[in-house]
Amino acid sequence: MLRRRPRGARAARAAGAERSALGLRRAALGYVGLFVALPVAALAARALADGPASLLAALRRPEAFTSLWLTFRLALALIAVNTVMGTLMAWVLVRHPFPGRSLVNALIDLPFAIPTIVTGLMLIVLYGPQGVVGRFLSERGVEIIYAKPGIVLALLFVTFPFVVRAVQPVLMELDRDMEEAAATLGASRWTVFRRVVLPALLPAILTGAALSFSRALGEFGSVIMVAGNIPLRTQTAPVYVYGEIESDNHAGALAVSLVLLLGSLFVLIVLHRLQTLGRRRDG
Amino acid sequence: MRYKRFIFNALFGIYGFGVLAAASGCGRGGDNPTDTLLLAAYTVPKEAYEREIIPTFQRHWQQKKGRRVVVQQSYEASGAQSRAVVGGFEADVVALSLEGDVDRIVEAGLITHDWHARPWNGYITRSLVVIGTRPDNPKAILDWADLARPDVEVLYPNPKTSGGAMWCVNAIWGAGLGVGGGATAAPDSAGARALVKGIQARVKVMDKSGRESVTTFERGIGDALVTYENELLLRTMQGRAISFVIPDATILIENPVAVVDRNVDKHGSREVAEEFVRFLHEEQAQHAFAHYGFRPASPKIMKEVSVHFPEPARLFTIADLGGWAQVRETLYGEDGVWTEVVQELARGR
């Protein structure tokens, strides 16, 4: 009796822990299901309601696929820029302290906090025909606002924090012994970065890139302000979707939304795969 | 340890406060002895309602019924507002930019009466599509044809994103067709198409609403702005005048108002809603609309203020273009003239 009691208590405790783990898992999955998966599923169901033929017809409209093509191209270009510049920014912040670093650090999060329509407005104030920079450039025949460069600037602004914020903590935790060892063995600084630091940072860079890609696909508020929105020229997919909703073409809007959704899902999955592959190779 | 607990408590406190704040936002006020009316309008007449018509109506209701009336107001783009009402936004009265947006609510079964049966066919305000220019009109823009000139940059809102913006392209289309004003010649579709294409080729920015288009113009973009007369008169009143020309041929814009039957029956607000709509037809309200740049729908008041509202040589209506259903199809449908013109321009043809 005396001996069995603690064992029973331990078993009960173990069962309790299992139960609470189960409860936690249910709570977490229920939450993501209710607030993320359910709306997305509703969108997909509505988009497919009229059958794949009408979905394809909606996508075959020149305005639809041109806007999608523009949006995906820009989002991919932003991955290229953000991975390089974001990693550089994180590197400088962590490894090369400078006066005012905390201010710059705070500045990086700013794009998250600013309503995107204000982002658009800021760009117009700066690069618009009445802006300081805009007037200088337009006198030289360079158009920024109401043209594609305007869209790129808006997307750069709103996606800038992702890679920096993904890479920075990993870089801070990185053990510098390996780098020092490599340097002692005669590796150049570039080799050390490429062979030692970069592989460790890669998963974080990929995460940041994936987030920035998805964000660029869906960005609406700032883009509609600065793009000019001429169909087949400067109209991005989210702006096209908005127009189709406004003109009561829900099928067209849902079809394009579905492509945006699947596109971002695809990239997220691919980048996740790359991460796990990279990790396995390390191990 | 104590420090950590402090942080934890502080964070928890902030979290709890957020939840409480969110929850209290969902609560409803206590009983209200006054009448309430929910007005869902498009954005353009906001100033007229907010500053003049609603305060006057509140005094009117007080005198007539001895009761206070609270008018809750929502201002959104006309199409968005219409869809919101269909989707369950329980407006008692809708004041929208175009017929189609009211008809959408009719089709949803929320408006069950014939809203055209009221005076002036159910419309309370009118306006024209006009051409805004830079001060002193440096590019000498006088009529639609000037907007197709290669040295002119044009702004108008996107008819896809703003139902109201369709008025602008409709005006160009109708002017090209040569309809209205007792025209006898057959409509010139080819000429109209060429005019629409010529002007669309000069369009630099397509904003999502008429008002945003004016704002972009004020930021220094473009030489000409196709928009509504009332919008520009309102700017003049606010001390930010944009000069404009009334083209020889242009379209008459008519803006409807209607009581939403299902919502007023649900709220028990039919009496005050009907009175409000009736009030919009009266002199005071019609004068207020005129004051804020609209052409009054009342012929009597229009005569009184006609010096401010010159009549164009050839004025046509949406009916002259075959009605909204036909215009939506022939201009903005998948094979519509405007849709095709935009595609051709993008392909450089």
Confidence of residue B154 (pLDDT cuts 50, 70, 90): very high
Residue in A130, A229, A248 closest to B205 by CB: A229
Work out the number of other CB atoms within 10 angstroms of the CB of residue B285.
27
Rounded CA separation B80/B41 (Å) = 10
Q: According to the per-residue pLDDT averaged within each range, which of A202-206, B196-200, B238-242 is highest?
A: B196-200
Closest chain A C-alpha to B261 CA, distance in angstroms = 23
Question: Between chains, do B219 and A130 touch, taking CB under 8 Å as contact?
Answer: yes
Q: How much is the pLDDT for A259?
A: 95
Closest chain B C-alpha to A226 CA, distance in angstroms = 9
Q: Is A247 on the interface with B (CB under 8 A)?
A: yes
Rounded CA separation B155/B299 (Å) = 32
Q: How much is the pLDDT for B15?
A: 56
pLDDT at B2 over 60: no
Residues of chain A contacting residue B343, judged by C-beta atoms under 8 Å apart: 62-63, 231-232
In chain B, the residue whose alpha carbon lies closest to the alpha carbon of A250 is: B83
Contact by Cβ (8 Å): B98, B256: yes
Residues of chain B contacting residue A130, judged by C-beta atoms under 8 Å apart: 219-220
Helix, strand, coil abundance in chain B, percent, nearest 5: 50, 15, 30
**Number of Cβ pairs closer than 8 Å across A and B?**
68
Residues of chain B contacting residue A233, judged by C-beta atoms under 8 Å apart: 346
Cross-strand partners of B197: none
Non-local CB neighbours of A235 within 8 Å, separated by 6+ positions:
A63, A66, A67, A70, A227, A229, A243
In a 3-state reduction of DSSP, which class is residue B95? strand
Question: Model-level pTM?
Answer: 0.81
Question: Between chains, do A247 and B206 touch, taking CB under 8 Å as contact?
Answer: no
> Measuring CA to CA, how many Å separate A248 from each of A53, A54, B86?
19, 16, 12
Residues of chain B contacting residue A128, judged by C-beta atoms under 8 Å apart: 219-221
Average pLDDT over residues B217-239: 92
| CATH superfamily, with its number, for domain B2-125+254-304 | Periplasmic binding protein-like II (3.40.190.10)
Residues B311-334 pLDDT 10s: 999 999 999 999 988 999 999 988
Residues of chain A contacting residue B345, judged by C-beta atoms under 8 Å apart: 232
Token pair listed for A214: 């998805």
Helix, strand, coil abundance in chain A, percent, nearest 5: 85, 0, 15
Closest chain A C-alpha to B200 CA, distance in angstroms = 10
pLDDT at B26 over 70: no
Q: Among residues of chain A, what percentage have pLDDT more than 70? A: 95
Q: How much is the pLDDT for B28?
A: 39
- B42, B101, B166, B206, best to mutate vs chain A, most A CBs in 10 Å: B206
Residues of chain B contacting residue A224, judged by C-beta atoms under 8 Å apart: 208
Average of per-residue pLDDT values in chain A: 89
Q: How much is the pLDDT for B27?
A: 38
Question: Between chains, do B332 and A146 touch, taking CB under 8 Å as contact?
Answer: no
Closest chain A C-alpha to B77 CA, distance in angstroms = 10
Q: How much is the pLDDT for A11?
A: 75
Residues of chain B contacting residue A228, judged by C-beta atoms under 8 Å apart: 204-206
Q: Among residues of chain B, what percentage have pLDDT more than 90? A: 72
Non-local CB neighbours of B336 within 8 Å, separated by 6+ positions:
B328, B329, B330
Residues A60-78 pLDDT 10s: 999 999 999 999 999 999 9
Nearest to B337 by CA among B200, B206, B196, B203: B196
Confidence of residue B16 (pLDDT cuts 50, 70, 90): low
Non-local CB neighbours of B245 within 8 Å, separated by 6+ positions:
B130, B131, B133, B137, B141, B142, B143
Chain B residues at the A interface, defined by Cβ less than 8 Å, are 77, 79-80, 104, 158-163, 203-208, 219-221, 332, 334, 342-343, 345-346
Q: What is the identity of the amino acid at B185?
A: A
Question: Between chains, do A231 and B342 touch, taking CB under 8 Å as contact?
Answer: yes
Average of per-residue pLDDT values in chain B: 89
Average pLDDT over residues A252-265: 93
Relative to beta strand B224-228, strand B93-95 is: unpaired
> Measuring CA to CA, how many Å separate B12 from each of A50, B17, B181?
48, 8, 71
Token pair listed for B153: 């940059």
Contact by Cβ (8 Å): A153, A72: no
Residues of chain A contacting residue B207, judged by C-beta atoms under 8 Å apart: 229
Q: What is the DSSP letter of B310?
A: P
Rounded CA separation A266/B62 (Å) = 62
Question: Between chains, do A246 and B79 touch, taking CB under 8 Å as contact?
Answer: yes
Residues A95-140 pLDDT 10s: 998 999 999 999 999 999 999 999 999 999 999 888 889 888 888 8
Q: What is the DSSP letter of A197?
A: I
Residues of chain B contacting residue A124, judged by C-beta atoms under 8 Å apart: 219
In chain B, the residue whose alpha carbon lies closest to the alpha carbon of A146 is: B205
Q: How much is the pLDDT for B117?
A: 95
Q: How much is the pLDDT for B25?
A: 42
In a 3-state reduction of DSSP, which class is residue B127? strand
| CATH superfamily, with its number, for domain B127-253+311-346 | Periplasmic binding protein-like II (3.40.190.10)
Nearest to B228 by CA among B211, B215, B243, B240: B211
Contact by Cβ (8 Å): B34, B69: yes
Rounded CA separation B127/B231 (Å) = 9
E-assigned strands of chain B? 35-42, 69-76, 93-95, 123-133, 154-155, 203-205, 224-228, 244-245, 249-259, 295-296, 314-316
In chain A, the residue whose alpha carbon lies closest to the alpha carbon of B219 is: A130
Q: How much is the pLDDT for A49?
A: 86
Token pair listed for B163: 């139902």
Instruction: State whether ipTM is beyond 0.85.
Output: no
Confidence of residue B347 (pLDDT cuts 50, 70, 90): confident
B173 membership: H or E segment, kind and range: helix B166-177
In chain B, the residue whose alpha carbon lies closest to the alpha carbon of A61 is: B334
Could you please report the per-residue DSSP string of B34-66?
A: SEEEEEEEESTTHHIIIIIIHHHHHHHHHHHHS
pLDDT at B348 over 90: no
Same fold, B2-125+254-304 and B127-253+311-346: yes
Q: Of chain A residues 53-72, which have a CB less than 8 A from chain B?
A: 61-63, 66
> Measuring CA to CA, how many Å separate B190 from each of A169, A191, B200, B345?
64, 68, 15, 16
> Measuring CA to CA, how many Å separate B191 from each of B50, B151, B253, B313?
43, 21, 23, 19
Average pLDDT over residues A233-251: 89
Non-local CB neighbours of B315 within 8 Å, separated by 6+ positions:
B128, B180, B181, B249, B250, B251, B252
Contact by Cβ (8 Å): A219, A116: yes
Residues A85-97 pLDDT 10s: 999 999 999 999 8
Domain-wise residue ranges, chain B: 2-125+254-304, 127-253+311-346
Q: How much is the pLDDT for B32?
A: 45
Q: How much is the pLDDT for A237?
A: 96
Nearest to B155 by CA among B194, B97, B98, B200: B200
Residues of chain A contacting residue B204, judged by C-beta atoms under 8 Å apart: 146, 228
- A127, A146, A246, A250, best to mutate vs chain B, most B CBs in 10 Å: A246
Confidence of residue B90 (pLDDT cuts 50, 70, 90): very high
